[in-house]
A and B are shown apart, each in its own frame.
Chain A
Amino acid sequence: MYPLRRVWAELKNEVLVLPSRTLVLAWAIALLGLPLVYNDAYVLRILTMTCLFAIFAASWDLLAGYTGQVNFGHALFFGAGAYTSSLMSQKLGVSPWLTVWAGAAVATLVGWGVGYLCLRLRGSYLSLATLAFPLIVLGLLFAFPGFSGGELGISGLRRLALTPTQNYYIAAVAMLAVVFGLWLLADSRFGIVLHAVRDDEVAARASGINTPRYKLAVFAISAAAAGFAGALFAHYIRVAGPSTLEVALSFQVVIWGIFGGVATIYGPVAAVFLLYPLTEWLGSFEKIGELRLLIFAVIVLLVLLFMPRGLAPWVRDKIEVQCPRCKQRNAAWKSVCRLCGAGLKAGASQSEVARAQRLVGHQ
C-alpha cells in the first residue's frame, strides 16, 4: 500500500496543485489512451507525425531557447538521422530497431561538429552560418545521386512495426520519454548553466563555467534528439528524402519553437500539437487545401501580435500567478500562496492570510 500512497501524495502535492502540470498530465494520459478509444488510422497517422515533430521542436528549444544558439539549420540533424538510419537499413540490411540508434549517434557527431565550427560565432552570425550546413549537404546529395538517391531519396524502408497502433505507440512513448528527459535536463543545474550562457556568456565564463564545453554538449544532445526523431520519421513514412534537409523544415521548427514560446520545452511541443494537426486538417478540405500554408502563416502572425512571448508562456500567465514573496507558482484562482502563505492578490482578506500562514508555520 505504501508505494501507492506515496505516488498519490506526489501526484496530489506536486502535479495536481498547479493547473499547468495537471494539463500536461491530462495530455499525456489522453495521448496514451487515444487508440483504445478512437482507433482511426488517419488520426493515428497525423498524431504519429505530430509526436515525431514534437521531439524535433523540443530539441531545437534546448539549443536555441535555453542556450541562445538560435539554429537556423536544425533540419541538418533531422536529415542526418534519417539518412544514416535509412542507408544502414537499406544497404546493410540491419534491423531498423538498431539503425534508429545509429542515426541518433551520427546526428550527435554531426551536432558536435557543427557546434565545434560555430563556437566562436554568436547571435545572428551563428543563425545564418548554421543555415548553410544543411544546404551544403543538400548540394552534395544532389551532386552524387548514386549514393543518396538524389531528389527521390531512399525509399522502400522497413517500418519499425506493422500496425498503425503499434507505430503510434512507438512514436508517442518515444516522444514522451525524450521530451520529459529534455525537460528534466533543462530544469536541472545543467539547464541553469544554459540560461547563464545565453544571457551573458562573458559573465558565465567569469564565474568559472567552461562555456564552450557546455555549448558543445548542448549541440550534441539536441542533435541526438533531432536525429532520433529524423530516423523514426524516415522509417515511419518509409522514405528519407531531401525534404528532411530543406530550409522549409528548418524554418518550420523555428516557427514552432517561437510560436510555442522559447526556453520552455513544453511550449514548442504544444505548438507542434496545435499547428501540425491544424495544417493537416485544413489540407483535408478540398476547397481550402491550397490555402493551408497561407492560413498557417496568418494564424502564426496574428497569434504573435497578441502573444509576442509565445503561446505557452501566455497561457501559463493566465492560469497561474507567481507568489510575490517566495516566487513559487500558484493557481490563478488562489488568494494565498500554497507554500509561504503570502497574499497573492491585493484584496486578500486578512483572516484568510492569517489562517494560511498558521498552516504553513509562518508567524
Chain B
Amino acid sequence: MLQDILVTGLVNSGVYALLAVGFSLIFGVARIVNIAHTAFYMLAAYCFYALLVKGGLGFALAGVIAVAAVTAFSVLCYRLVIEPVREHEAAVLIATIALALIFQELMLLSFGGHYLGIPSTLEGVVRFFGVSIPYQRLLILVVAAAMLAAVWFLLYRTRLGLAIRATANDLEVANLMGMNVHRVAMATVAISVALAAIAGVVVAPVFVVDPFMWLAPLVTMLAIVVLGGLGSMKGSLIGALIIGYVEAITVFALPAGAYLKGAVGLLIMVAVLLARPEGLFGVAFEEER
C-alpha cells in the first residue's frame, strides 16, 4: 500500500503541478482568475480523443496537434472575450465561468455525456522497488517533469521570461520600461493553456474523458494554488506535491476515502490559510491601492 501511495501521489502531483503552475502564471501576470483553465484541459483531452480515435492519427502527432490547437484557440478566446472586459475584474471572472460552461456544453453536444476511454499510449509496466508502474503513468511523470523544467527555463533564462516576471511584479512599471504588456499577457495565456492542454493529453488515457472532467481538478488546482501562494511557481509546485500525496493517502488509507479525498485536501488548504493567509510561499504584500 505504501508503494501505491508513493506512486499514485507522485503521478497525481505531476498533473496537478502542470495545471497549478499555468494557473498561477496567468494570475500573476494578468490578475485573471481563470476558471476556464481546466476547461482547456478538458478540451485538449477531447481534441486528442477525436484525432486519435476518430481521425486515426498517431499518438505523438495527435497529441501535438491537440495541444497546438487548444493553445491557439485559447489565445483567440482571450482576445475576443477576456481582453474587452479586462478592466472589470468581476466581468472577467464570470466571462471565464461562462467560457467553461460553453466548452462543457459544446463537448456534451458533440460527444455525448458518457465516459470515453482512450487506449493507452504505451502498454506494459515497469517494476520499480516491487511496485508495478504502468508506462503510461511513467510517461505522465516524465512529461510533467520535462514541462516544468521547460517552464523554469523559459521564465528564468529567456527575455520573454524576464518580461513575464517583470509584468507579474509590476504591470505599470513594466509598461513604462517599454514592454508590450498586452503581448506579454497574451504569451502568458498561451503558455499557461499549453501546460493545461499537455496535462489533458497525457492524462486522457489514464482518466476517463467526459464533459464534466474539468470540475474536480479545478477545485483541487485552486486549493493547490491558494495553498502555495497565488502567483508563486515554487508554491504551486510544493502545493501540488502536498495535495497529491494527501489525496493518495486519503484514498488508500481511509474508509470512504474516495468521497473524502477532496474534503481532506481542502481542509489542509483552509488550515494553511488560517496560519498563513498569503499561502506557503505567497508574498504578504501591503494592500494594493
Residues in A neighbouring B81, C-beta threshold 8 A: 301, 305
The answer to whether A294 touches B266, judged by C-beta atoms less than 8 angstroms apart, is no
Chain B proximity mask over A300-342: 1 for CB below 8 Å, otherwise 0: 1100110011100000000000000000000000000000000
Q: Does B118 contact A (CB under 8 A)?
A: no
Chain A proximity mask over B94-138: 1 for CB below 8 Å, otherwise 0: 110111011011101100000000000000000000000000000
Residues in B neighbouring A247, C-beta threshold 8 A: 215, 218-219
Known contacts: A140-B263, A247-B219. The answer to whether A301 contacts B269 by CB under 8 A is: no
Residues in A neighbouring B225, C-beta threshold 8 A: 128
- Of the listed stretches A1-9, A74-82, A131-139, chain B binds A131-139
Residues in B neighbouring A251, C-beta threshold 8 A: 35, 97
Residues in B neighbouring A202, C-beta threshold 8 A: 287
The total of chain A residues at the interface (CB under 8 A) is 44
Known contacts: A128-B225, A254-B94. The answer to whether A294 contacts B33 by CB under 8 A is: no
The answer to whether A121 touches B277, judged by C-beta atoms less than 8 angstroms apart, is yes
Residues in B neighbouring A120, C-beta threshold 8 A: 274, 277
The answer to whether B95 touches A304, judged by C-beta atoms less than 8 angstroms apart, is yes
The answer to whether B270 touches A117, judged by C-beta atoms less than 8 angstroms apart, is yes
Q: Does A243 contact B (CB under 8 A)?
A: no
Q: Does B262 contact A (CB under 8 A)?
A: yes
Residues A245-286 near B (CB distance < 8 A): 247, 251, 254-255, 258-259, 262
Known contacts: A131-B219, A140-B263, A291-B109. The answer to whether A121 contacts B273 by CB under 8 A is: yes
In angstroms, Cα B279 to Cα A191, docked, is: 31
The answer to whether A139 touches B260, judged by C-beta atoms less than 8 angstroms apart, is yes
Closest approach, in angstroms, between the C-beta of B119 and any C-beta of chain A?
29
In angstroms, Cα B270 to Cα A151, docked, is: 25
Residues in A neighbouring B218, C-beta threshold 8 A: 247
Q: Does A101 contact B (CB under 8 A)?
A: no
The answer to whether B273 touches A201, judged by C-beta atoms less than 8 angstroms apart, is no
Q: Does A293 contact B (CB under 8 A)?
A: yes
Closest approach, in angstroms, between the C-beta of B211 and any C-beta of chain A?
11
The answer to whether A124 touches B98, judged by C-beta atoms less than 8 angstroms apart, is no
- Of the listed stretches B61-69, B84-92, B144-152, B195-203, chain A binds B84-92
In angstroms, Cα B93 to Cα A255, docked, is: 9
Q: Does B208 contact A (CB under 8 A)?
A: no
In angstroms, Cα B278 to Cα A133, docked, is: 18
The answer to whether A131 touches B222, judged by C-beta atoms less than 8 angstroms apart, is yes
Q: Which of A138, A258, A259 has the most CB of B within 10 A?
A: A258
Residues in A neighbouring B157, C-beta threshold 8 A: none
Q: Does A298 contact B (CB under 8 A)?
A: yes
Q: Which of B35, B105, B219, B277 contacts A135 (CB 8 A)?
A: B219
Q: Which of A136, A301, A310 contacts B267 (CB 8 A)?
A: A136
Closest approach, in angstroms, between the C-beta of B244 and any C-beta of chain A?
17
Q: Which of A124, A294, A305 contacts B105 (CB 8 A)?
A: A294
In angstroms, Cα B109 to Cα A53, docked, is: 28
Secondary structure of the A side of the interface? helix
Q: Does A94 contact B (CB under 8 A)?
A: no
Closest approach, in angstroms, between the C-beta of B83 and any C-beta of chain A?
10
Residues B224-253 near A (CB distance < 8 A): 225-226, 230
The answer to whether A305 touches B84, judged by C-beta atoms less than 8 angstroms apart, is yes
Q: Does B49 contact A (CB under 8 A)?
A: no
Closest approach, in angstroms, between the C-beta of B23 and any C-beta of chain A?
10
Known contacts: A124-B27, A131-B222, A254-B94. The answer to whether A201 contacts B101 by CB under 8 A is: no
Residues B17-31 near A (CB distance < 8 A): 27
The answer to whether A127 touches B33, judged by C-beta atoms less than 8 angstroms apart, is yes
Residues in A neighbouring B267, C-beta threshold 8 A: 132, 136
Known contacts: A129-B226, A132-B269, A139-B259. The answer to whether A301 contacts B93 by CB under 8 A is: no
Q: Does A237 contact B (CB under 8 A)?
A: no
Residues in A neighbouring B287, C-beta threshold 8 A: 122, 200-202
The answer to whether B91 touches A308, judged by C-beta atoms less than 8 angstroms apart, is yes
Q: Does B159 contact A (CB under 8 A)?
A: no
Q: Which of A121, A259, A297 contacts B102 (CB 8 A)?
A: A297
Q: Which of A129, A135, A255, A298 contacts B94 (CB 8 A)?
A: A255
The answer to whether B259 touches A294, judged by C-beta atoms less than 8 angstroms apart, is no
In angstroms, Cα B254 to Cα A142, docked, is: 14
The answer to whether A132 touches B94, judged by C-beta atoms less than 8 angstroms apart, is no
The answer to whether B105 touches A297, judged by C-beta atoms less than 8 angstroms apart, is yes
The answer to whether A254 touches B93, judged by C-beta atoms less than 8 angstroms apart, is yes
Q: Which of B93, B223, B256 contacts A258 (CB 8 A)?
A: B93
The answer to whether A294 touches B94, judged by C-beta atoms less than 8 angstroms apart, is no
Q: Does A125 contact B (CB under 8 A)?
A: yes
Q: Does A290 contact B (CB under 8 A)?
A: yes
Q: Does A143 contact B (CB under 8 A)?
A: yes
Q: Does B289 contact A (CB under 8 A)?
A: yes
The answer to whether A200 touches B289, judged by C-beta atoms less than 8 angstroms apart, is yes
The answer to whether B109 touches A135, judged by C-beta atoms less than 8 angstroms apart, is no
Chain A proximity mask over B34-62: 1 for CB below 8 Å, otherwise 0: 01000000000000000000000000000
Residues in A neighbouring B259, C-beta threshold 8 A: 139, 142-143
Residues in B neighbouring A293, C-beta threshold 8 A: 101, 104-105
The answer to whether A258 touches B105, judged by C-beta atoms less than 8 angstroms apart, is no
In angstroms, Cα B277 to Cα A14, docked, is: 46
Residues in A neighbouring B85, C-beta threshold 8 A: 304-305, 308
Known contacts: A262-B90, A300-B98. The answer to whether A125 contacts B266 by CB under 8 A is: no
Residues in A neighbouring B230, C-beta threshold 8 A: 124-125
Q: Does A190 contact B (CB under 8 A)?
A: no
Sorted from nearest, which 4 A-B pairs have the closest CB atoms? A139-B263, A294-B105, A132-B266, A297-B101
A-B contact pairs, 30 of them (CB 8 A): A120-B277, A121-B273, A124-B27, A125-B226, A125-B230, A125-B273, A125-B277, A128-B225, A129-B226, A129-B270, A132-B269, A132-B270, A135-B266, A139-B260, A142-B259, A201-B287, A247-B215, A247-B218, A251-B35, A254-B97, A258-B91, A259-B94, A290-B109, A291-B105, A296-B101, A298-B102, A301-B98, A301-B99, A308-B88, A309-B91
